[in-house]
Structure 1
Amino acid sequence: MQGDLYDVLVVGGGVNGTGIARDASGRGLSVLLCEKDDLASHTSSSSTKLIHGGLRYLEYGEYSLVRKALQEREVLLRAAPHIMWPLRFVMPHMPNLRPAWMIRAGLFLYDHLARRQLLPGSRGIDMRRHPAGAPLIDSIKRGFVYSDGWVDDARLVVLNAVDAREHGAVIKTRTRLVNANRKDGLWHATLMDSHSETFDVQARSIANAAGPWVSELLKGTLGSGTHTRHTVRLVKGSHIVTQRLFEHDHAYIFQNPDKRIIFAIPYEHDYTLIGTTDLEYHGDSSKVTISPEETAYLCESINRYFKKHIGPEDVRWSYSGVRGLLEDENAENASAVTRDYLLELDTPANQAPLLSVFGGKITTFRKLAEEAVDKLGEALQSPAKGKTWTEGAPLPGGDIADADFDRFLASLQQKNPWLPADLAHRYARAYGTRAQRVLGDATSLADLGNAIAPGLYEAELRYLRDNEWATCAEDVLWRRSKLGLHVGPETLDEVTRRIDGWFVQPLQASSWTAV
């Protein structure tokens, strides 16, 4: 790669960076994406994992953002029905908080700001009769139900990267941008890989999609001569995961007295995902963890509604991320900071353009990427300008007929009757129509190789290594899947050691027995 020239160098392997790489490469631009860690290793795997318009943003007057997100919601649900699916949300009514008329008005707007085809509208419910009322305290008599969507956020990022590569992009994970400077109408950049080896590339433009680090790059790594009028506010969001707190398939959205919103969502079949917090953050964005105070806050929020109370001792897993939100001087607190995005294009005369991404949310990543490539195409005077293509294009594995996941799953099981039902379901969810690529020519579990952990066979590890940039146990257990949750705490260290060992010397796995 030494000295190679690209149309676009994308910095950042989160959802915005991989979305830009996918869109740009699909329009015929040559693309190199570099990510200093693994794909989706920070903000983009630390979300509440929702494809949603953002009901609460209506309260802040963010009508344009909500409309844009609602429009994208159904586009994404059709593009990847294996990793995204509709979800019904229940909002219990607490008379001492937002009045019922305000909630009804908000839900009416939410239903009608954008056209709906896949998702049913909202309605009022009697909590004493609805299954979602059973786990809640008896004083809750009424509520509302509405629709949004669920997404496996880390896999969404990986699938964008896979699609980008299949359209010609070069994806370099664990590769850091050391510096970049403009010279003779090009960017001259030095990158460093995980072995501390450096190489130089040239690019006609740079897309700075570094998320929480976008301003840091502008101030240092991208050299002198870059100009920006914007910055990001770092906001920390934390989540906890407990054993399953309810049996039905609806999620909850709870109002807190401080006007924040907390979700309780069915997660990985056996668990409940609870979050999120919104706190100003001033530390190292790559070393963020949940605090005891955040854990207590989330537990208290749940205990305000559920009959069965939880405490810190019930937390099975937690995760935290830092969102680089567009700085909003008018926002009184972190919860009120806009989730909209801004694309800033720096184009000095006769110099290579720099596009920086400020803010954004996972639901609008595709639209953000489309607009970013439009701007870059115009700045580069490229014939690719205007040839948008991603709105109707499925993500890898998402070409499921009529977006009917259940029918697709039945077909996969019919073709592979030897495959256990739970494993067939997980493969179908994770890989969609590409599940057969994981299975290869296997006709029995033995053909998949050793079970390095329950339900994790060598065939899948090979697929993740060769096709999805996985290099270690953390990539596999916590980003490409959530198998780490399903491994007992007493064996997690051993499973982690085995997977890490497989990536170093896969042939040695032939002598292992399953944990």
Structure 2
Amino acid sequence: MAKSSTSTSGPYDVLIIGGGVNGAGIARDAAGRGASVLMVEQDDLASYTSSASTKLIHGGLRYLEYYEFRLVREALTERERLLKIAPHIIWPMHFVLPHSKTDRPAWMLRAGLFLYDHLASNMTLPKSRAVNFSTHSTGVPLKGDFKKGFIYSDGWVQDSRLVVLNAMDAAERGADIRTRTRLINAKRVNGLWEAELEDRTTGENYTVQARGMVNAAGPWVARLLSDTLKLPNSKSVRLVKGSHIVVPRLFDGPQAYIFQNPDKRIVFAIPYEQKFTLIGTTDEAWKEDPGKVDISPEEVSYLCSSVNRYFKKNIKEQDVVWTYAGLRPLYDDASANASAVTRDYVLDLDTRDNAPLLSIFGGKITTYRKLAEHALEKLAPVLPAVAGRSWTAEKALPGGDIGEGGFAAALERLTRAAPWLPESLAWRLMRNYGSRAYEIIGDASSLDDMGELLGVDLTSREVDYLIEREWARSDEDVLWRRSKLGLHLNQAERQKVAAYVAARKA
């Protein structure tokens, strides 16, 4: 079982509803301040929005167009912090921005990039620069129409692993993390929240108490208030579906591309899992119920057309090997179109009957840590248990203490310590787990000691670690959220993983 603390004998200080990046970030911060924390998630960690992002740690270059200067400044500052506290799962990436006369004017792009480079202080990533594609290697995959452009820097993240690592750190600091656990209802009783929970694995219902509650339910945040808690609220979310496609690799090099479309939206083409290119995202208003969503044929066509406008190598629908889609629960600021809706967040505090409820509207993965700080600052006057000093800006996430020299030096140390590891496996273990890779290897002195080979380089020892330490309960948890090995395994191998996880659960 993944590590969690046992139930407290009395009320929890804070009950957090939602195991996405905001919920896990708040749980980590609160537990580190000494509060007793219970976080519940109705499915797996990062099952919805937090595993369906474009996987960027970025300031949001295009948000400047909507004058979101505060948000961009905060995000750029957070980009620097996250690169330091999770260097195993977050790393810098160059983005190539081609320009044509039909797009935004070159002067506007240059001015926006200058602002992006200087909006926050102490930035360590390389500044943007102009590039001539006729002489620069990044121009090789582009059509001849694109002569010039720009290169700027941002960050890449393994998004669902970021959620898991925050939950792990919270648990290691005493938080109680319960996945597959749903809030049935909750009410204020004598200054406390009394919440009925359902264990969706066993079907058991039980009640817990908490002094305060955080509604970090993402796409369900407004529904939890109106339907589950029966509370009036003037704020609402606007659900926007973002979809992505994955195709065989379209270009060489570690750089990503950012393309401007005639409709003023942007689409990224990003190196993905060594052998693939990730393309996204779309912005479609979603009026139906929240939950699992799928890409539409129209979105697939849109994304293919977007990259075909720029790359020499065209793609079509048949080239798509995987797709994913998610709902972004954006704070409803009454913008006319989905692309213009603010990515900023709003924290709504209800303190009735001395049992505070904080609801999180909006947000983006880059600013989750700062959002957690702001959430606890807002709660602190009415929930003293979370009023401790902020601490998460400098403290590495689990596995992030990879040592001097960065990732390359850490990988070299791992290969020296375990020279029998295949090169690709050593790289993947360090990239996914950082210093925790040594926990997975344990006392193994050969590949055979890592247990059964379940497919490619996935061993039973690694799956055991995911089950015991990271709350993995299904093959989907292992292959599509804790990793993206589902892209690399064939059907028979995926079934083998499913059988192994099922046998462990029995």
TM-score normalised by L of structure 1? 0.95
* 1:503 counterpart = 2:506: no
Match among 260, 275, 278 for residue 283 of structure 2: 278
The 8 Å contact of residues 228 and 346 in structure 1, kept in 2 or not, is answered as no
For structure 1, the 5+ residue unaligned runs are 509-515
Quote the residue 2:132 is aligned against.
126
* 1:368 counterpart = 2:366: no
Match for 1:159: what amino acid?
A: L
Q: Secondary structure at the match of 1:401?
A: coil
What is the CA-CA distance between 1:228 and the residue it aligns to? Answer: 2.3
Cα distance between partner residues in 2 of 1:366 and 1:237: 22
What is the CA-CA distance between 1:4 and the residue it aligns to? Answer: 4.8
Quote the residue 2:427 is aligned against.
425
Quote the residue 1:405 is aligned against.
407
Quote the residue 2:218 is aligned against.
211
Structure 1 residue ranges (4+ consecutive) displaced by more than 6 angstroms after TM superposition: none
Match among 39, 43, 53 for residue 45 of structure 2: 39
* 1:314 counterpart = 2:319: yes
What is the CA-CA distance between 1:86 and the residue it aligns to? Answer: 0.3
Cα distance between partner residues in 1 of 2:404 and 2:391: 19
Cα distance between partner residues in 2 of 1:2 and 1:288: 37
- After TM superposition, the structure 1 = structure 2 runs for residues 73-84 of structure 1, keeping only pairs within 5 Å, are 73-84=79-90
The 8 Å contact of residues 183 and 351 in structure 1, kept in 2 or not, is answered as no
Quote the residue 2:4 is aligned against.
none
Match for 1:273: what amino acid?
A: L
Cα distance between partner residues in 2 of 1:208 and 1:73: 25
What is the CA-CA distance between 1:507 and the residue it aligns to? Answer: 11
Cα distance between partner residues in 2 of 1:448 and 1:56: 46
Q: Secondary structure at the match of 1:433?
A: helix
What is the CA-CA distance between 1:500 and the residue it aligns to? Answer: 2.4
Cα distance between partner residues in 2 of 1:407 and 1:315: 35
Quote the residue 2:103 is aligned against.
97
What is the CA-CA distance between 1:117 and the residue it aligns to? Answer: 3.9
Match for 1:341: what amino acid?
A: Y
Cα distance between partner residues in 2 of 1:314 and 1:369: 40
Cα distance between partner residues in 2 of 1:2 and 1:429: 35
Cα offsets for 1:415-450 (capped at 9, x unmatched): 000000000000000100010001110000110111
Quote the residue 2:3 is aligned against.
none
Match for 1:339: what amino acid?
A: R
- After TM superposition, the structure 1 = structure 2 runs for residues 9-88 of structure 1, keeping only pairs within 5 Å, are 9-88=15-94
* 1:357 counterpart = 2:398: no
The 8 Å contact of residues 253 and 262 in structure 1, kept in 2 or not, is answered as yes
Cα distance between partner residues in 1 of 2:383 and 2:399: 32
What is the CA-CA distance between 1:282 and the residue it aligns to? Answer: 1.8
RMSD: 1.3
What is the CA-CA distance between 1:56 and the residue it aligns to? Answer: 0.2
TM-score normalised by L of structure 2? 0.97
Cα distance between partner residues in 2 of 1:168 and 1:198: 23
Cα distance between partner residues in 1 of 2:460 and 2:469: 14
Match for 2:406: what amino acid?
A: D
What is the CA-CA distance between 1:380 and the residue it aligns to? Answer: 1.4
Quote the residue 2:332 is aligned against.
327
Q: Secondary structure at the match of 1:378?
A: coil
Q: Secondary structure at the match of 1:7?
A: strand
The 8 Å contact of residues 285 and 322 in structure 1, kept in 2 or not, is answered as yes
- After TM superposition, the structure 1 = structure 2 runs for residues 348-497 of structure 1, keeping only pairs within 5 Å, are 348=352, 350-382=353-385, 384-402=386-404, 404-487=406-489, 491-492=490-491, 494-497=492-495
What is the CA-CA distance between 1:3 and the residue it aligns to? Answer: 7.5
What is the CA-CA distance between 1:505 and the residue it aligns to? Answer: 2.0
Match for 2:15: what amino acid?
A: L
Quote the residue 2:120 is aligned against.
114
Q: Secondary structure at the match of 2:380?
A: helix
Cα distance between partner residues in 2 of 1:24 and 1:413: 37
Cα distance between partner residues in 1 of 2:418 and 2:347: 47
Cα distance between partner residues in 2 of 1:3 and 1:41: 30
Match for 1:368: what amino acid?
A: L
Cα offsets for 1:37-62 (capped at 9, x unmatched): 00001000000000000000000111
Quote the residue 1:233 is aligned against.
238
The 8 Å contact of residues 53 and 73 in structure 1, kept in 2 or not, is answered as yes
Q: Secondary structure at the match of 2:472?
A: coil
Shifted more, 422-431 versus 449-458: the winner is 449-458
The 8 Å contact of residues 22 and 161 in structure 1, kept in 2 or not, is answered as yes
Q: Secondary structure at the match of 1:459?
A: helix
What is the CA-CA distance between 1:501 and the residue it aligns to? Answer: 2.0
The 8 Å contact of residues 455 and 494 in structure 2, kept in 1 or not, is answered as no
The 8 Å contact of residues 32 and 171 in structure 1, kept in 2 or not, is answered as yes
Cα distance between partner residues in 1 of 2:404 and 2:447: 30
What is the CA-CA distance between 1:499 and the residue it aligns to? Answer: 2.0
- After TM superposition, the structure 1 = structure 2 runs for residues 156-305 of structure 1, keeping only pairs within 5 Å, are 156-193=162-199, 194-222=201-229, 224=230, 226-305=231-310
The 8 Å contact of residues 122 and 147 in structure 1, kept in 2 or not, is answered as yes
* 1:149 counterpart = 2:150: no
Cα distance between partner residues in 2 of 1:160 and 1:507: 24
Cα distance between partner residues in 2 of 1:35 and 1:69: 26
The 8 Å contact of residues 183 and 196 in structure 2, kept in 1 or not, is answered as yes
Match for 1:241: what amino acid?
A: V
What is the CA-CA distance between 1:403 and the residue it aligns to? Answer: 6.2
Cα distance between partner residues in 2 of 1:4 and 1:184: 14
Cα distance between partner residues in 2 of 1:480 and 1:507: 17
Q: Secondary structure at the match of 2:354?
A: coil
Cα distance between partner residues in 2 of 1:63 and 1:412: 42
Match among 327, 342, 347 for residue 343 of structure 1: 347
What is the CA-CA distance between 1:506 and the residue it aligns to? Answer: 4.0
Cα offsets for 1:344-379 (capped at 9, x unmatched): 10001x330000000000000000001111222221
Cα distance between partner residues in 2 of 1:33 and 1:319: 26
What is the CA-CA distance between 1:386 and the residue it aligns to? Answer: 4.7
